Structure 1
Amino acid sequence: MSDIARSTPVRIVPPFRLPGWGGRLLRKILILALLAGIWQAAALWTDKPILIPSFTATMTALADGILNEGLLSASWTSLAVLLKGYALAVVIALTLVSIAVANGFARETLHTVVSMFMPLPAIAILPLAMLWFGLGEASLLFVLVHAVLWPFALAALGGFDGVPETQRLIGRNYGLKGPAYIVHILIPAALPSILYGLKIGWAFAWRTLIAAELVFGASSGEGGLGWYIFRNRNELFTDKVFAGLALVIIIGLFVEGVVFRTIENITVRKWGMQR
């Protein structure tokens, strides 16, 4: 081997890779395109639009609903109610968990109550909510709080219980007590579990709201995305029913892939607490 060959360093060219966010986005687009293709093929194969409208027919109905039938307005009506119930449930859960962290009896009480009410489907208590609060927003808020409160409280309490003892000792050495100890030590350390609980609570709240609106809408038989789906089902506009369901999925993907992902990127992923 010549001296030039021996002195020339070997350069290994790494394989081309898309940036992290670009790769994830491309994979999601490919998955959605594959599912849309399977949907279209299944609809063409069955050839029964009243049962399974095609993907293209559903997208046409979705566009028509947005442009001409106030579908976006109905969606915002649902989201406005959902955000109220979701925020209320999170505040109540954090209050209960904070008390449970500081008191052993309160901790056992919270565990017992969560074990009692978490298996109870929120939609199952809708008749009671309608009896107590009538056919209005208050009934929806009641079932939404029930849907979000227990899984989020359980996840948050589990996150607080999992905080390493070293971090707890650091907080005590700095003289942190009470709310300051919870805010500066426990919440940052338990944030991955808290975010997980928020995502689970969102999913529970979204599906509970749509199911409840299928019964009586956002307020006394009107408004809301679920009511749009129910009304078109009664009129056998299956493509519009699928369009409403598609919008439910789109909103869910946006909240999961954009809102929660952004929060994770600027907190737990940036801090190296989550991959």
Structure 2
Amino acid sequence: MSDLSLGRPAEKSRAAVRLRDFVFTSAIIRKILVLALLALIWELAARYMNKPILFPTFTATMAALWEAVTTENLLQSSWASLFVLLKGYVISIVLALVFVSLAVVSGFVRELLQTLISMFNPLPAIALLPVAMLWFGLGEKSLLVVLVHAVMWPFALATLTGFESVPETQRLVGRNYGLRGPSYVVRILIPAALPSILYGMKIAWAFAWRTLIAAELVFGVSSSSGGLGWFIFRNRNELFTDKVFAGLAMVIIIGLLVEGVIFRVIENVTVRRWGMQR
């Protein structure tokens, strides 16, 4: 009996240690704890201010979010925004990859691309919105123009930097195997520069997402009912602050899902699995 009684505390201690190690080593658990802490701070700060018209509580925002999802088609508005964003994002990634691939084999194209990046990358995408509206009218085409500008240049810069950082040894291996043109880019440069490419894709996604929401705050053209940015703008005009914060929360939730799930899975099956990134 004494041995058993001594063994049980030891087992409980080992279980507690394993649980503690899991909590502190699991990225998902850490993120959940961080989000819970931020939600608690939000709730306490809002209750301390006690001005719902300016700063609603976290619980009131979540209630407004649930109401908007169930009764006001917030998910449909979010999907409308995401659909436009994905079209612009894919177009931009393809154009940038083609442009950067040509820059690898042509010094003139490289100088042209670097000059265009220096010119247009610092230019806020939303600043092109009036010009896009003048050229293409009040519609989806204007949003696509703005999105392509927001995505293409930062992604092209990250990809070009990644291509230029590929070791000369790997370049020589590709040439010794007779790889030229597209096959050289696909088989040698892209795999070797994949960490930089994924980093550029994440940066470009963030730029595209915030640009789209900002554009929709001006006009909601993602669908007949408007997009997520238009949902925020409409409720701001009607002084439904809790729904404004609910729309912002939906923007954050989508961003967390894309960053923490989609890009995380891509990294786990590629650069992390290959030992190219910790």
TM-score, normalization by structure 2: 0.92
Contact 1:160 1:190 in 2 (8 A): yes
Distance 1:202 1:149 in 2: 10
User: Displacement, 1:223?
Assistant: 1.2
Aligned counterparts, 1:92-107, within 5 A: 92-107=95-110
Deviations 1:248-268 (A, max 9, x none): 000000000000000000000
Contact 1:86 1:145 in 2 (8 A): yes
**1:157 counterpart (148, 155, 160):** 160
CA 1:105/1:255 → structure 2, altered by over 3 Å: closer, same or farther? same
Q: Does 1:135 align with 2:164?
A: no
User: Displacement, 1:240?
Assistant: 0.1
3-state SS of the aligned residue for 1:18?
A: helix
**1:29 counterpart (24, 27, 32):** 32
**2:129 counterpart (121, 126, 129):** 126
Contact 2:96 2:155 in 1 (8 A): yes
Contact 1:118 1:150 in 2 (8 A): yes
Q: Does 1:171 align with 2:165?
A: no
**1:245 counterpart (241, 245, 248):** 248
Q: Does 1:18 align with 2:22?
A: yes
* Counterpart in the other structure of 1:43: 46
Distance 1:81 1:97 in 2: 24
User: Displacement, 1:219?
Assistant: 4.6
User: Displacement, 1:72?
Assistant: 0.2
Distance 2:120 2:225 in 1: 29
Distance 1:139 1:216 in 2: 10
* Counterpart in the other structure of 1:112: 115
Structure 1 runs (4+) greater than 6 angstroms displaced: none
User: Displacement, 1:218?
Assistant: 2.2
**1:194 counterpart (194, 197, 219):** 197
* Counterpart in the other structure of 2:65: 62
Contact 2:80 2:223 in 1 (8 A): no
TM-score, normalization by structure 1: 0.93
Contact 1:216 1:222 in 2 (8 A): no
**1:272 counterpart (266, 272, 275):** 275
Distance 1:221 1:18 in 2: 47
Contact 2:77 2:225 in 1 (8 A): no
Q: Does 1:86 align with 2:114?
A: no
Deviations 1:5-49 (A, max 9, x none): xxxxxxxx9x633289x7111100110011001100110010000
Distance 1:173 1:248 in 2: 49
- Where in structure 1 are there 5+ consecutive unaligned residues? 1-12
Q: What is the aligned length? A: 262
- RMSD, aligned CA: 1.6
CA 1:43/1:153 → structure 2, altered by over 3 Å: closer, same or farther? same
* Counterpart in the other structure of 2:220: 217
**Equivalent pairs: percent with the same residue?**
71
Distance 1:146 1:175 in 2: 36
- Where in structure 2 are there 5+ consecutive unaligned residues? 1-13
3-state SS of the aligned residue for 2:26?
A: helix
